[in-house]
Each structure stands twice: as structure tokens, then as C-alpha cells.
Homo-oligomer: A and B are copies of this chain.
Amino acid sequence: MTSSWNDRFSPRMAHVRASEIRELLKLLDQPDILSFAGGIPDPALFPIARIAELYGEVLAEAGDQALQYSVSEGLPALRRWIAERMTAQGAPCDEGNIIITAGSQQALDLIGKLFIGRGDAVLVERPTYMGALGAFNAYEPSYADLGGDVPAGARLAYVVPDFANPSGRTMPRREREALLARATAHDLVVIEDGAYRDLRFTGTDEPSILALDVARSGGIEAARTLYCGTFSKTLSPALRLGWVCGPRAVIDKLVLLKQGCDLHVSTINQMVAARVVAEGYEDHLERLRKHYHARASAMQAALARHMPLGVSWSKPQGGMFVWLTLPEGLDGAQLLEAALAEERVAFVPGGPFFAVDPEPNTLRLAYSLLSPADIDEGVRRLGRLIEGRLAYAGSNVARAATGRA
């Protein structure tokens, strides 16, 4: 090339950076690492045998269709099933309100492409899901704190209201209603990321923001909320199946964008998923909830047992994550380096989960992939490491106080 590749890339690439999560996923291949890193479902919960039977059935009964092109909006049977479930959960809608996407990651990308112009402000939580930032960044937004003032030019508010990734926090109902009132006042579109919603293992379901919006605005066509769902955490991430539920005027545009992006989601995977969910999805979810509840409880017990004073953490009612806050002065990214080298434990440092002004003394622990015994052992190692760092920092503080080098 006459010029270097970097000179050739579009200006938007200045906003697109490598994600820590991706590099960390590669560590899963190292069997001696105890990994609290990815929000990875436990493969023990994959209905492998049944899925294998269904691939066989679908190919035997309709192989011509299963291996052929299909429409960009997604398989009608799967969209109908999702619409019925959304309806039962308080957001009456039909298949015209649903587009099937390649996981909810693609839902976030398509929504970003549809709404975000360069410099438009997106309101996000502190911390927020780094994958959403990864999707939106290519459209060159600015970010503002959902908890602060709404800046001029704000267009979108993005939230994970149930057992949030990464904080584990659930928004109470009145906070959801307040968000909708603010969104109405400032004419914001609300992106509700429901990735973990089906994984509540204690407490009572809060209504989805979409359901509250529909009740308030009189129907889904008048709503301003786009609900992003996924089968990645409940069925299998490898099928790449998620969806958006929202007003038809938005869904139609997302379909148009999806067509230009990749035509459609794998036909055969959609056909298999439509059959799996039709035969006892709620029972399957019940099994998942029990399984992750045990791990969440093991995580809470291990943290209480092994973490030194000064470390605090969230207590989620569902989902896969606990958010840790370390004493000021400790840095999650530096701790990760030491954790991998000295203790063979992995997690995700908190910094990348902040759109602006990261809090470096934070980190995310996922409890989805490890057994209760491994959770205890991993947290024990991590607690030991943090304790050592605190002692070292303490001795530095002491040295600084006495003026010695």
C-alpha cells in the first residue's frame, strides 16, 4: 500500500477499541485457570441431547427449507412464540413487533446504527455493559451518566434493569417508572436489555420497562422502549439468537438494516430453537434458576468468608454477576495481571464497564461457570491476593507516613 492501513480506515475506527472480554474468553482454554471472567452459561445446562434430536428432525422433515435462505425479520413461528411470551409478560404485541437478531449483541448494533448519529448522547448506567458500548462506539456517540442531568442532544437511554451486567443490580419498579417519565420529558428512546431477566432465582419479578411503557402509553405502537431479549444465557449462545420487541415502525427499519448487515439469522438454528422453546421452556428455566441460585449463594458465602475488610460487593437476585468494590487505591486491571500470574484466577476489571470516568477499584465476578467448590477456592485465592495487596499498600502508606523510601 502507498499509505498505511491506519490512514485508510474510517474516522469511526478511532472510537472502536479492543475489548478485554474477548482476550479473556481465550483463557477459558487453559484448564488450570479458575475463571470468573465471561458471562458464560454453564454447558451442563445445554439440552444437548434434545437439540441433537431436533437438528435431525428439522433436517429430515424440512431440510430444503432449513438449509435455504430465509427472510430478514426471522422465522414466523419463532417470532410468534416470542410475541406470545412478551404478551403474557405484560407487553401485548404480535410477530410484527419482533425481529430475530444474531444474539442481543446484534440487536444493540442495529439499534445503534438506526438511532445514533455522530456526537448524539447516549445515557448509560455507571457501570454499564461493555458490549453495548462496543456496539454503539462505531456510531460515534457521546455518553452521559443516566444518573445525572440529561444533556442537550440526548437520544437514547440504555439500561440492563434486571440483575445487570456487570453490577448484578435490579432497578425497582418506581425507578423504572421514573426513567420512563424522564424519557418522555426529554423524548428519549429507552433500550431495555433483558439478557438476564429470565434468570431470577429469588425475590419477585419487576415488570419490564416495556410493559410499564405499554401500560402508560396505551399500546406497543405508542411505546418508546425497545426490549432486547436473547436465548444466549438460557438455551445456547452458539445458536446466535436474540430479538428486539418494539413498535412496528422501528422493527421494520431494523429489518432493513439487518438485511444489509447479514441477510438473516441461520435458518436451521431458528427452526431448532422454535421447536425447543415450544416444548417446555419454563421448566427448563426453572432448572437454570436453581442451578445459578446455588452458585450465587456459594459466591456470597465465599466472599463473606474470604474477602478482607474494606471490600464490598453486590447481592444479586438473579443473573450471573457480582460487582466488587475494592478499597480506593487498588486497581482491578493490575490485580488481574497478578491474579493470572500468581493465583491462576481470572475476572474482568471494572474499568471498561464505564463509558466515562472509570472507577479502577472495581471488578466483575461471574459465578455461572464454576462449581460451588471452585467458586470457594477461586474467591479464597482472590481474597488472599487482595489481602496481600492491601498489606503492601498499607506498608507503603506507613512508609510514606514515616517519610522512608
Residues on A lying within 8 angstroms of B by beta carbon are 1-3, 5-6, 8-13, 16-19, 22, 25-26, 38, 40-41, 43, 46, 48-49, 51-52, 55-56, 59-60, 63-72, 101-103, 105-106, 109, 113-117, 120, 131, 134-135, 137-139, 155, 184, 187, 189, 222, 224, 232, 236-240, 247, 249-250, 253, 256-257, 259-269
Looking at A9, A38, A117, A139, the one whose CB has the most chain B CB atoms below 10 A away is: A9
- Chosen A-B contacts, 20 in total, with CB atoms closer than 8 Å, are A5-B250, A5-B253, A8-B189, A10-B113, A10-B116, A10-B117, A19-B259, A43-B65, A46-B67, A51-B63, A55-B55, A55-B56, A67-B236, A102-B263, A105-B261, A109-B260, A109-B262, A239-B266, A240-B265, A262-B262
Whether the Cβ atoms of B138 and A260 lie closer than 8 Å is: yes
**A59 nearest in chain B by CB position:** B52
A247 to B262, CA, bound (A): 23
Given contacts A55-B59, A236-B67, A267-B238, contact A113 B262 (CB under 8 A): no
A138 to B49, CA, bound (A): 41
Q: Pick the contact of A247 from B2, B5, B19, B256 — CB < 8 Å?
A: B5
**Known A2-B187, A106-B262, A109-B262; contact A69-B237, beta-carbon cutoff 8 A:** yes
Q: How many copies does the complex hold?
A: 2
The answer to whether A66 and B113 touch (CB under 8 A), given A8-B155, A263-B105, is no
Given contacts A9-B114, A52-B55, A59-B48, contact A103 B262 (CB under 8 A): yes
From known contacts A52-B55, A55-B52, A256-B18, infer whether A222 and B63 are also in contact, taking CB-CB under 8 Å.
Answer: no
**A137:B260 contact, CB within 8 angstroms:** yes
Shortest A152–chain B CB gap in Å is: 15
Asked if A59 meets B70 with Cβ closer than 8 Å, knowing A5-B250, A115-B8, A269-B269, the reply is no
